[in-house]
Structures are given as structure tokens and as C-alpha cells.
Amino acid sequence: MGHKPLNEQVIVITGASSGIGLATARMAARRGARVVLAARSEDVLADIAAEFGTRATYVVADVGRREDVQAIADHAVATFGGFDTWVNVAGLTVYGPLRKIAIEDHERLIQTNLWGTVYGSLIAAEHLRGRGGAIVNVGSIASDLAFPFQGLYATSKHAVKGFTDTLRMELIAEGAPVSVTLVKPASIDTPLPNRARNYMDREPTLPPPIYPPKEVANAILHAAVHPQRDIFVGGGGKLFVMGKEFAPGAYDELASAIIAQQKRAEPPRNPKGALHAPQGAGRERGDPPIYVMRSSAYTRATLHPLATAGLAAGLAATAALVLGGKSARRRP
């Protein structure tokens, strides 16, 4: 299934005021798409939309409320006549032991991360059934892994994966011209840890390797034109998932090392975070205390699987010829 070129598309992006959502909105607009930005921070959205003039519009919305998500779709139709790709990015996290986190914080996280994706996907599917297009859900390597001290975040991303897979199957069964892609980033240099609700005694950070948000944005926009079922962003994340599948017990035992890499030296800056009210929006990147990779060669390769397969086949053939030649020279 192929879709319109990016410069002919209208793209809806939730969580567009920060991190991956903001990076995706800017990249899409620079590549010629018209964009509908949605988030809770009106002043930030207004500034971002102003960067791109008539190619951008925005809606103040809380994706945990279905009526707000419907308003995003209605605004896209009223402004641009509809949309071609819907990207569910909006999400937050909570750091702390499961037993210490308040139930209302658990509930709020699930409402945003899971129900926001459910509402967005179902509303988008209704619109796209008649015209074709793409739904891109941003999960995480936490869709396949659990992380200590981010238990409900991992729970929400597992649920997003299950929902996304089911939606895809049902649309295929209908013969609907709608692709559904799940993007699974590894650690990404965004303000997510800074905006998290934090129950720990220190400021949280991300375990290495960390990748720039433009890598996720590029994967999302690739899926808007050339759909793929799943896209891992960051080869390090793919290796984590493979390792856990190969030795789940060992992964459980090594979880303490992951915990150690999620804490910085300083005390929490803003323990309440943006879970219940918007704050700290407007930035694509965070301030991790360790090196951030410039790109992900693994992800760039997986976006072009035929070329990658051809390269692998060529390398294998070359290796066979070299080894074959050596073997022949050794024969008496």
C-alpha cells in the first residue's frame, strides 16, 4: 500500500508541542506537508504554527478526552478538507515504584498514553476509510520490554501495541485502504524525563544509547508514504528486545542496571511534571548527561528493506566468492 507524496498530504500530529511530536511537525512542514498540531499548551502551539504560516493550524486538546480528539479531526476537515495521515505521539511517563505511585497518577498516564491513542486511531480510521491514508502510532521499545520504575509506562505501551495490531488486522479484513504502523523508539533525546511525574529521590534520565528525535520523525514520515508494519528507532533498542526474547530471566536479573542508569546526581527539579497540567513544552530535545548518537544506521536501513536485503545478499555473495577462491587455492 502506497500513499500520497508527503508534500500533498495533510498530517495530524498529537503531542505536537514537545519532543518527537514537535520534531515531526517541523520536519513534515519543511517537507511541504500541511500540518494540524494538537497538544495542551496553546501558547506553544500558536508559536509553532506561526513558523509555517498557512500550512499549519492547531487545536488545543487533551487526548485523554474523546471529545477533544474529535475536535482535532473536525478542525482538520474544516481547515484543510480532511487529512491523510494521523500520528498519535502524545504521551507522558511516571518514575517510581509501582506501590508508591498514586492511583490517580496511574489512571492519568493510561488515559493519555493508551486512550489517547485509541481515540485518535478510531476517529482517524473512520475518516480514512473513505479516502485512504495512514495511521502511525508511537509506541516504544517498552511495547516489548518492561522497565523498572516505569511500570505503568511500559504497561501503556504494551497495550498500545496490542491495540495497534488488532486495528491493523480488522482494517485488513475490511479491505480498508488504511495502513497502520507502530513506531518503537529506544531512548530518545526529548524532554520526556524532565516533564515526567517523579517519585524518585533524584532527577531521571534515559539509559544509553540515546538517539535524536529527528530519527523518530523521519521514521514516522516515511510510514506516512511508504507504510511498514513496525519500525524500531535505534539499533540499541532492537538489541535490548532481542536479548530479552533470548534470555528473559537474565533480563529480569539485569534490571537493576537499568534502574541505575535512570537516575542523575541531582535531586528532582520538578517532581509534579506535566502529567496533570501542561508545563515545560516547546522544546524538541532534553539535556541528557551522556552522549547522544547523531543518527541510527540500523533504522535508516530498515526503512529501505529491499536495498538492505540487496546489500546483504551482495556481501554474502562476495564473502562466498572470497572463501570459495581461498578454498580452491588450497586444493592440491
pLDDT per position as a tens digit, 75-86: 999 999 999 999
Domain boundaries defined on the chain: 6-295, 306-332
pLDDT per position as a tens digit, 187-206: 999 999 999 999 999 999 99
Residues of the chain with pLDDT under 50: 311-312, 315, 322-323, 325-332
Please say whether the beta carbons of 22 and 284 come within 8 A.
yes
DSSP readout, 247-273? Answer: -HHHHHHTHHHHHHTTB-SSPPS-TTT
- pLDDT value of residue 261: 65
pTM: 0.90
Grid coordinates of 331? 586444493
Q: Is the peptide bond before 209 cis (omega within 30 degrees of 0)?
A: yes
Whether residue 153 lies in the annotated active site: yes
- pLDDT value of residue 315: 44
- pLDDT value of residue 245: 87
- pLDDT value of residue 156: 98
Strand 10-14 with 34-39, pairing? parallel
Q: State how far the Cα of 308 lies from the Cα of 132, in Å rounded to an integer.
A: 28
- pLDDT value of residue 317: 56
Q: State how far the Cα of 321 lies from the Cα of 324, in Å rounded to an integer.
A: 5
- pLDDT value of residue 329: 44
Indicate the class that CATH gives domain 6-295. Answer: alpha beta
Which residue among the candidates 95, 153, 211, 298 is catalytic per the annotation? Answer: 153
DSSP SS3 for 149: coil
